[in-house]
Amino acid sequence: MGRSKWWQVLAAIMAFSLLAAACGDSGSSSDEGAGTGGEEASSTTVAVVQDGGSVLDTVINRGKLVCGVSGSAVAFSETQADGTITGFDADYCRAVAAAVLGDAEAVEFVALSASERFTAVQTGKVDVLIRNTTWTQSRDSDVGMDFGPTTYYDGQQLMARASDGFSSDSTIADIDGAVVCVNAGTTTEKNITEAAAAAGVTIDLKTFEESDPVYDGLIDGSCDIATTDGSGLVGRKVKQQPADEEWVIFPSTPISKEPLGPTYLQNDSKWADVINWTVYATIIFDEKGITSANADDMKANPPDGEIERLLGGEGELQTAMGLSADAFYNVVKQVGNYDEIYSRNLNPVGLFRDGSQNARASEGGLMYAPPAR
């Protein structure tokens, strides 16, 4: 092999290196590494919070709120036939998006199962979790999350046939000897066992892996009582109660407390304030009678100072939070006040505010918001 051939080899390798180097320079680090995986980085789970940065800034930069919901909870977050997600929880996602981004539709819903929801909050996969999640001490303190104000006060109740002598005034003491059907492995099971023991009655507990068989049992008589959260029972009663029967729900004070509300990453008070005050704003708007229909009139002629401030006339309260002055105007205009959100989603399944814990504070309920000033 002559000298000249070695020069040729060298030249070929040089050309190859030059090619590599030239292309290397034209590259930028922005799409580094996104080539082989297949899934683009932009649309999935990138919401890593920088040190000191708030989720609020992330959301504003992204232009979209990533909201964790269930996607299969009747009236709270349902996936409709066309794929859209509707419901009480979904509407609160839209309310937050309206407040932060001015557009109630700028939401990317992430449907989460019960087991993965907390991981999703902790890892920043979702900005906020509004997935009928009960606020408890251990969840609040243990797992790296904070809870926002309760949007729905739920609680475990029992449902039985009126023909068996039950009425809405019945208590746990009346269910002695009854066959009680529940879903296996949930707190529901534990609650009813404890309540029965406390009332000194013996029950025959029948557990099912799925919820449909529980209510089939109530229909065909193999169960005397079905028990789960009141919101679930009402939905079943409306949809599945046979025409010739009447099902009653009791006791009027639920045997457990299940306050449901938004959940977010802990120690981010800027973001927490935004979520909390979005919820509070819907409650105040309900209290003051401002609806999506009259929001424009009220903004033009505010009846009092609080409404003027909330609707953005004197908007430094909102701008101090890092929102636009008309953030809450957008919420009520595009999504509605608490009563509108509640009635739209929960009335169709037979859940009404009157007389429940979700009624206005002025009417004996628990829906109460701090003043906006």
Partner 1 sequence: MDEKREQLDWVAAAEVEGEKPPEVPPHGPVVWARENLFSSVGSGILTVAGLIVALGFFKGMLGYIFGADRKWDAVATNLRLYFTQAYPEDQYVRVWVAVGVAMALAGLSAAIWRANGRITGYKLGGGSFGLAGGLLTLLLLSPFSWRARLIYLLVALVFIGIGQYLRSVRPKLEVPALGVIVGTLAVLVGSLWVVPYGKHTFVDGQVQPPRPGTVAMTTKLPWTVMLLVMIVAYFVGKAVRDKVSPGLAKGLLSAGWMLLLPIDYFVILRDPALDYGQVFRVDVPIFLAFAVAGSAILWWLSSPHRGEIGRVVAGAMVIGAGVFWLAAAFGLSVRQIVRIDLVMLAVVALAAPTFAGEKAIRRKFIIGWVVILALVNYLAMMVNTPSTVDVPGSFPLGGFSLTLLVASATLMMSFPIGLILALGRTSKMPIFRLLSTTYIEVIRGVPLITILIFFKIILNLFLPDGMVLGNEMAAILGYSLFSAAYLAENVRGGLQSIRKGQYEAAAALGMSTPQTTSFIVLPQALRAVVPPLVSGVIATFKETSLLFIIGLFDFLRIGYVVVGGQTAFVGSQRENLLFVAFIYWIITFSISRSSVQLEKKLGLGER
Residue ranges binding partner 1 (CB under 8 A):
1, 5, 8-9, 12-13, 15-17, 19-20, 22-24, 26-29, 31-46, 70-75, 78-85, 107-113, 115-116, 119, 210, 212, 215-216, 235-236, 239-240, 348-349
What 8-state DSSP symbol labels residue 140? H
- Least Cβ distance, residue 210 to partner 1 (angstroms): 7
Which of 119/187 has CB closer to partner 1? 119
Which of 71/155 has CB closer to partner 1? 71
- Least Cβ distance, residue 185 to partner 1 (angstroms): 16
Cβ–Cβ under 8 Å, residues 218 and 180: no
Which of 38/177 has CB closer to partner 1? 38
- How much of the chain is helix, strand and coil, in % rounded to 5? 45, 15, 40
Q: Rounded to whole angstroms, how far apart are CA atoms 265 and 118?
A: 10
- Least Cβ distance, residue 178 to partner 1 (angstroms): 22
Which of 44/319 has CB closer to partner 1? 44
Which of 29/138 has CB closer to partner 1? 29
Which of 78/273 has CB closer to partner 1? 78
- Least Cβ distance, residue 104 to partner 1 (angstroms): 13
- Least Cβ distance, residue 364 to partner 1 (angstroms): 28
Q: Rounded to whole angstroms, how far apart are CA atoms 189 and 173?
A: 17
**Cβ atoms within 10 Å, residue 102:** 16
Residues 6+ apart with CB under 8 A from 51: none
- Least Cβ distance, residue 84 to partner 1 (angstroms): 6
Q: Rounded to whole angstroms, how far apart are CA atoms 139 and 187?
A: 14
Q: Whose CA is closest to 347, among 88, 69, 73?
A: 88
- Least Cβ distance, residue 299 to partner 1 (angstroms): 30
Tokens 């009813």 correspond to 192
Q: What are phi and psi of 183, to 5 degrees?
A: -80, 135
Which of 43/362 has CB closer to partner 1? 43
Cβ–Cβ under 8 Å, residues 121 and 271: no
Q: Using the Cα atoms of residue 128, residue 131, residue 137 and residue 139 in order, give the sign of their dihedral.
A: negative
CA distance readout (Å), 179 to 62, 133, 332: 53, 28, 46
Q: Rounded to whole angstroms, how far apart are CA atoms 255 and 203?
A: 15
Which of 175/233 has CB closer to partner 1? 233
- Least Cβ distance, residue 277 to partner 1 (angstroms): 25
